[in-house]
Amino acid sequence: MFDLSGKTAAVTGAGSGIGEAIARLFARQGARVALLDVDDAAAGAVAEAIRAEGGAGFAWRCDVKDAGQVHTAFADVVARFVRLDILVNNAGVAHVGDLMRTSEEDLERVYGVNVKGVFLCSRAALPTMLQQGGGVILNMASIASLVAVPERFAYSMSKGAVLSMTRSIAADYVKQNIRCNCICPARVHTPFVDGYVATHYPGREAETLARLSAYQPVGRMGRPEEVAALALYLCSDEAAFVTGAAYPIDGGVLAT
C-alpha cells in the first residue's frame, strides 16, 4: 500500500520541517521528488540525504511568490521527469498578531507566500497533469482555516484562502481526474518553531514550548513525520475517492 513508484512529486518548502518529512517519505515510497525551496542550500542538503538513502531527490531554488521563478522551476521539473503526478503546496510563513498589530507589509508577506504561492504553483502544475490524464494537489492549510486562533489574523486569512482554493480546484477538475485536498494541522514542532521561540522568548524557551504543547489536548505538538504520513495517504492511489476534503491533524483541538 501507499506505493509511489513511477510517480513524480514536487514539494514546496522542502528544505526543512514538514516539507522535508514529506519529501523524504515520498522518496522512500518510490517517488522521484523535486524539492522546491527559496533556500536552495537546505533543499539541496535534503536531496543529497534522499539520494544517500537510495532515493531520487533533486533540488530547485524557487520563491513561490515569484511567478517567473515558479514557471522556470516547474518547466525544469517536467523537462527532467516528463511527468508531474503530485504537487504538495507546503511552503508557508507565519505571523503573530491581531488586526491592529498586523501591518500592510505583514499582510502582503503572508499573502504572497501562503496564498499567491499556492495559486502560482498549482497553475504551473495543472497543464502537465491535464495533459497526462490526472494528478494530485495537496495543500497545507491549518486548523486556523477551520476555527479562530487568537492573534493569527493574517495567518488565518491566508489559510482560509488555502481551504477555499482547495475546494475550488477539486470541484473544477474532478472530471479531469485531478484530486485536490488539504491538511489542517495544529501546532507542529519544527525548526521554525524552535527558532521563533528562541528569538521572541529568550530564556523562557522551555516554558513557551510547554505552553504550545498544552494547546493540544494530547499534551504535545505534532511531529512532521505524522503530517507526512497523512500526506502520503492523500497523495496515494489508496485515496482515489478523496477530493475536496480538509483533514485535521490536531491532537484533539477540534474535538474539545
Q: Find out whether 135 and 125 touch, Cβ atoms under 8 Å.
A: yes
Q: What is the pLDDT of residue 196?
A: 86
Q: pLDDT value at position 15?
A: 98
- pLDDT tens column, 210-225: 999 999 999 999 999 9
Please check whether residue 5 is in contact with residue 55, taking contact to mean a CB–CB distance below 8 angstroms.
no
Element (H, E) at 18: helix 17-28
Alpha helices in 29-176 (DSSP H): 40-52, 67-81, 104-111, 117-132, 153-173
Question: One-letter amino acid identity for 142?
Answer: S
Indicate yes or no: pTM above 0.95.
yes
pLDDT digits (tens, 9 = 90+) for 41-58: 999 999 999 999 999 999
Residues in contact with 199: Cβ distance below 8 Å, sequence separation at least 6, in sequence order = none
215: exposed, middle or buried (Cβ count in 10 Å: 0-12, 13-18, 19+): middle
How do residues 104-113 score in pLDDT, each as one tens digit? 999 999 999 9
Instruction: Identify the pLDDT of residue 61.
Output: 98
In this prediction, residues 11-17 reach a mean pLDDT of 98
Contact residues for 185 (Cβ-Cβ < 8 A; gap 6+): 18, 140, 142, 143, 222, 227, 248, 249, 250
Phi, psi of 59 (to 5 degrees): -105, 145
CA 211 to the chain's CA centroid = 25
Q: How far apart are CA 201 and CA 197, in angstroms?
A: 5
Specify the length of the chain in residues. 256
From 111, 155, 201, 215, the catalytic residue: 155
pLDDT at 3 over 90: yes
Distances (CA, A) of 103 to 100, 107, 160, 200: 8, 6, 19, 18
pLDDT tens, residue by residue, 60-95: 999 999 999 999 999 999 999 999 999 999 999 999
Q: Can you tell me which residue has the cell 499567491?
A: 116
CA distance 152 to 158: 10
DSSP 8-state secondary structure symbol assigned to residue 236:
S
The stretch 144-157 carries a mean pLDDT of 96
Bridge partners, 247 (sequence order): 183
User: 1-12 burial string, b = 16+ CB within 10 Å, else e?
Assistant: eeebeebbbbbb
pLDDT of 200 higher than 90? no
Annotated catalytic, 155?
Answer: yes
Report pLDDT digits (tens) over 136-150.
Answer: 999 999 999 999 999
Structure confidence at residue 202 (pLDDT):
93
pLDDT at 30: 98
Chain centre distance of CA 27: 16
